[in-house]
Structure 1
Amino acid sequence: MISTFTENNKYKADCEQCFGLCCVALPYAKSADFAFDKNGDTPCLNLQADYRCGIHTALRSKGFRGCTVYECFGAGQKISQVTYAGKDWREHPGNAKEMYDVLPVMQQLYEMLYFLNEAMGLPETASMHEELQAALTATERLTDLSPASILALDVPAHRAVVNVLLLKTSERVRAGAVPPLPNAKIQHKISKGSDFIGANLQAANLRGANLRGALLIASDLRKADIRKADLIGADLRDAHLGGADLTGSIFLTQAQVNSANGDRTTRLPAHLSIPEHWL
């Protein structure tokens, strides 16, 4: 495969430059998200010879909703075109198992890069740019290591260092949320780690809320004010976001948005797009 790998696409999946790694390396079970079982290290039946998905434009209707909510953040093309210098797993089967093992590690590193890059672009972090840039540079260096070195990384330890900066970013952004802040009852539940699965949060004031890792599965967030909230790791599967305002929210990913339900009245951060199934 001829590479056109550039710096511009490194924090977003570019399937044209990947060897379909997520379609091979990752396992899944038959469920509401996948139409059939697939073992890890096994090519999906929908993966074509050119490493493209044969049903990419119809994944949801064909029973593969799970594929629409996976994001490698650019790890796939980095592994394919840089780590393995364009040597794919079909023509070089000796690299296959190692390549598959590298994917989840590289994905975690690129997720950190995605969030650090977002933090760098926020006005509230202007005085933190030196720290953020140092962390971003250090993380990028890790992605340039050899496969063996990548597999030997202590990713949780590195994530802990990065998370300190992301928490600091979150505090600064959320402190800028103008009153009224999230009501005390909701904020108390958040602070206690309670989940909001199926909760009625319609028109709720979640402005400036810390929703890190919140379980918002199938919750009703229609017309909710979620501006300047921290949504890193929040589970939005089947959450109803019609009319919700998420502008200024931080650490929200396209995969999270894709997992939810919304409509044309949902307001998202500028770098994210309305999914096709919302239209």
Structure 2
Amino acid sequence: MKTVMFGDQSVPAIGIGTWHMGDKSNRQGDEIAAIQAGIEAGAQVIDTAEMYGNGNSERLVGKAIKKFNRQDLFIIDKVLPENASLAQLPKHLEASLRRVDTDYFDLYLYHWRGSIPLSETVEALQAAQTTGKIKRWGVSNFDLMDMEELLAISGGNNVAANEDLYNLGSRGTEYDLQSWQVDHHIPFIAYTPVAQGDRFGQDLTTNSTILEIANRHDVTPYQILLAWSIRNGNVLAIPQSSNPQHATENINSGDIELSAKELSIIDDNFPAPTTHAPLDIL
């Protein structure tokens, strides 16, 4: 299984996303089972946020991980921009920790940029790290100019990751951001890595090229899309699923090796970007 390095810690390159999970009580049993199936299949990373269902996703994660050794997991949480000040971030971090029922987060992200000065947010994140309540901090929905600004701030070079939208139908970050992060040893986290529809007007999972490659590997088109997203070794993908079998298949995608010819065929059908484009955000 492919892995991604966060400092000196290696984690499997396919994790578990939880956006849109935890809101409906009649689905929580399946959702908990799906998270647990993903962990049992080899996932370590679980990604959540205080924004997701106003804390419902965090509570769901807390229930799902009770049966596992916390030290075997890598939990990512996120703070909303309006809560990322020196005064508010500690309070919201504590609330998130309580909802997930854990003493620390392995990675805590600034969810997107807001009106609070970036320097103040970095100071608040650095302070949270010194308490031991977060092991690392990072950002989300940052483009190249944002990352360059971040690294120019005192303490900003301690950023441990950037999480952005990335899938075969949304390749814009490949033009300059992803290579810049590789050069600066900053892992890239891909949210919505299978896409919710795509900008070509078709479902990626029904594309004939993807279906043909999936049939060749005897896997699902979702698995090919995930294997493609982590092909370069610096990307952690966090697909979401409320179905235990699908969740297991997601994690198993980390074992799929796409050939150079297959990658070239995919590029022919879904060309890489040739110019910088505005960051895609959901």
Q: Does TM, normalized by the shorter one, top 0.5?
A: no
Q: Whose strand proportion is higher, 1 or 2?
A: 2
Rg comparison, structure with higher value: 1
TM-score w.r.t. length of structure 1 = 0.29
Bigger relative contact order, structure 1 or 2, given CA contacts below 8 A and separation 6+?
2
